[in-house]
Every structure is written in C-alpha cells, then in structure tokens.
C-alpha cells in the first residue's frame, strides 16, 4: 500500500510567526552592529587622552571637543540621510552600505596625521552609524514576532553600553601597553568587529524572503505568509 501525505496550505500572519533562525540572525546582526557602534563612539575619549599625552597632535580645547563630538554630529546627519535613501534603495542595501562606511572610516583613522583628518573620518564614521540606526532598528522591529518584539528591542541600550564599556577596557590596555602609536591601534580596534558584522550582513535577505524560506522547510506544510500589513 502506498502511503500518501497531505499537503496543507494556510495563511499565517507575519506577526504571529514563532521565533526562528531568520529572526535570530537579524537580531544577532543588529545587536552586533549596535555593540560595535558603542565601541567606536566610546573609544575616541581614551584616544584623545593618549594623543595628548604622546604629543601626537596639537589639540586645543576646540579640537578636543570637536573630535569627541564628531561621530555624534555624523550620526545625526547619517540617520536623516540614510533614512531617506533607504526608502528608494531598500533597507537591505543600506543595511550593508552603512557598515561598509563604518568599516572603511574606522580603519582609515590609522593613517591620520592632522586633527582635521581625524575629525573628517569621525564624522564619516558617524554617518555610517546613523545609517545603521535608521534602518537596523526599523528592520529588526519589522521582522520580530510581536510576542518577543518589546523585550528584544528593549535590549538595544544594554548592548550599546557593553560596547562603550569595552572601549574603556581596550583604551586602558593600550594606554598601559607602551606600544608605539597605541592611539592608532586603539582607534581601529572596533574595525575588526565591524568586518565580522559586514561580512555577515552581505546577502542578508528581506524579511519576506527569509521567513518564506523558513516556512518552506517545514515538513508537509506550505505557508502563505501574509505580510501585507508590514510592508
């Protein structure tokens, strides 16, 4: 006797999907980026102290303040810029482009010679971080099931703080290391995390593609995902 399998088809509201590997992937990528953002923003304070101690650059009060706030200025502008661009190019592209900007700007700090060069790169770095804020939060909020959305999104500030704390720890390590040009290595330290996040983000599918792929792997059931309310 030949066994028969029944293939059923049902409509599942996107908000009611159980937490799956796709959700976890997007959460990990967004959290990793947020951790790196805190690291990159926090490290400049320690670097400025070391630059002053080593006499690597002549920093007066204006330059000290500008360098400390440069990434924040860029963050504000980047959130506005990339937020509007994402409406035209799509969130997935900005999801990757923002971290390309962050990665390149972070590593480029190693070769700066003048305060204006470092300030320029800090602003560019901030632009990338602002872009990440603009699309990362929205993208994660869009894909998470409603039962888990609040608790996961509420963890953002904690993850960012962990990155900022790591910046202090790394800064203290380099300040005590006696390494020549330690402040340069300090500034590019977040870049290594950024590379990991960037590589992992490349090819990230849209929320429809990801969840439909997950649904298609379920045995004997084909899901028709209703996403009309979330586009």
pLDDT at residue 217, as a whole number:
57
CA–CA dist 29, 47 (Å, integer): 27
User: Measured in whole angstroms, how far is the alpha carbon of residue 189 from the centre of its chain?
Assistant: 15
User: Measured in whole angstroms, how far is the alpha carbon of residue 153 from the centre of its chain?
Assistant: 14
Residue 102 tokens, joined: 């962050």
Look at residues 73, 115, 75, 109 and name the one whose alpha carbon lies nearest to residue 190. 109
CA–CA dist 28, 90 (Å, integer): 20
pLDDT at residue 100, as a whole number:
92
Look at residues 23, 210, 147 and name the one whose alpha carbon lies nearest to residue 225. 210
CA–CA dist 154, 112 (Å, integer): 37
Residues in a beta bridge with 224: 11
CA–CA dist 164, 43 (Å, integer): 7
Residue 132 tokens, joined: 């990440």
Neighbours of 114 (CB within 10 A): 11
Return the biggest CA–CA distance within the chain: 87
Per-residue pLDDT of the chain (231 residues; tens, 9 = 90+): 444 444 444 555 556 667 777 778 888 888 899 999 999 999 999 999 999 888 889 899 999 999 999 999 999 999 888 888 887 877 778 878 889 999 999 999 999 999 999 999 999 999 999 998 888 877 787 778 777 787 888 887 789 999 999 999 999 999 998 888 999 999 999 999 999 988 988 776 655 555 556 555 544 444 444 444 444
pLDDT at residue 47, as a whole number:
95
Look at residues 3, 51, 29 and name the one whose alpha carbon lies nearest to residue 186. 51
Residues in a beta bridge with 79: none
Residue 93 tokens, joined: 């592209």
pLDDT at residue 7, as a whole number:
42
Helix (H) or strand (E) holding 87: helix 61-89
Q: What is the pTM of this model?
A: 0.82
* Those residues with Cβ within 8 angstroms of residue 10's Cβ, 6 or more apart along the chain or in another chain: 221, 223, 224
Q: How many residues does the chain have?
A: 231
Identify the structural domains of the chain with CATH numbers, from first to last: 21-202 (1.20.1250.20)
């Amino acid at each position: 006797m030949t066994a028969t399998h029944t293939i059923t088809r049902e409509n599942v509201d996107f908000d009611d999907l159980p937490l799956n590997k796709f959700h976890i992937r997007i959460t990990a990528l967004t959290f990793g980026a947020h951790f790196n953002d805190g690291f990159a923003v926090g490290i400049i304070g320690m670097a400025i102290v070391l630059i002053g101690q080593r006499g690597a650059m002549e920093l007066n009060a204006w330059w000290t303040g500008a360098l400390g706030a440069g990434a924040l200025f860029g963050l504000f502008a980047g959130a506005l810029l990339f937020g509007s661009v994402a409406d035209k190019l799509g969130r997935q592209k900005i999801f990757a482009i923002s971290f390309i900007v962050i990665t390149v700007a972070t590593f480029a700090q190693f070769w700066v010679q003048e305060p204006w060069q470092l300030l320029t790169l800090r602003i560019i770095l901030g632009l990338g971080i602002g872009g990440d804020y603009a699309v990362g939060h929205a993208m994660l909020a869009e894909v998470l099931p409603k039962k888990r959305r609040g608790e996961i999104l509420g963890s953002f500030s904690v993850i960012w703080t962990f990155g900022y704390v790591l910046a202090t720890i790394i800064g203290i390590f380099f300040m005590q290391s006696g390494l020549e040009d330690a402040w340069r290595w300090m500034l590019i330290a977040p870049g290594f995390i950024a590379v990991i996040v960037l590589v992992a983000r490349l090819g990230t599918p849209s929320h429809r593609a990801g969840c439909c792929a997950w649904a298609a792997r379920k045995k004997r059931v084909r899901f028709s995902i209703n996403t009309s309310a979330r586009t």
